[in-house]
Amino acid sequence: MTARAPVRFVPTRPASYAADPPRGTLSGVPPDPTIPEPPPDSGSPSESAVGDPVVDPSVLGALAARLGERATGFLAALLDTWQQESRQRLAELDAAVADGKAAGVGRVAHSMRGSSAAMGAVRLSEACGQVELAVRTGETPDLAALRDRLAAEVELALAALGRLHHSGRAVG
């Protein structure tokens, strides 16, 4: 058996991504009406106000394509679960910051990095990786500032994923 080199997640995007974000539908399935409509936003459902990609719509689009007609209900439940877990992770971050435990902040950032990448929340995943690296390299980070940064990125990701779901935009 041959050993494989470890796979490393490196977020990349084409240069034209911000100017022309990918669009499509979640397998042509309308959004689930049980998820409350997010507040209106003038930007793309997958970009922040500064044009950085907050989410990669192709991640959920690929999942929706595999699920077919079951996509709407499943994606609604997945988004709800991810929101609840993200809120729980932020509470864990609060506890780690309150205790002054950088290792705890790093552990939670690691967990959030994986779950956010799985949802296509690329900017949050990248921010989590940066926090994780800062803690691992022994920098003396301002733990409260790191927590605040991740909390802000979670809110951006939640809003972008909600808009993406309600707009039906994704790449399949």
CATH number of the CATH domain containing 101: 1.20.120
Q: Comparing 26 with 91, which gets the higher pLDDT?
A: 91
pLDDT at 45 over 70: no
13: in domain: no
Residue 89: inside a domain: yes
Domain extent at residue 68: 57-167
pLDDT at position 53 is 86
Question: What token pair was written down for 25?
Answer: 């539908």
d(CA 90, CA 57) in angstroms, rounded, equals 24
Asked whether residue 153 is domain-assigned, the answer is yes
Cβ neighbours for 86, distance < 8 A, ≥ 6 positions apart: 112, 115, 116, 154, 157, 158
Q: What is the mean pLDDT of the chain?
A: 75
The total of structural domains in the chain comes to: 1
Query: What's this model's pTM, rounded to 2 decimal places?
Result: 0.68
Q: What is the pLDDT of residue 19?
A: 35
Condensed to tens digits (0 to 9), the pLDDT of residues 107-164 reads: 999 999 999 999 999 999 999 999 999 888 887 668 999 899 999 999 999 999 988 8
The reply to whether 144 falls in a domain is yes
Does 25 reside within a domain? no
* Any domain includes 121: yes
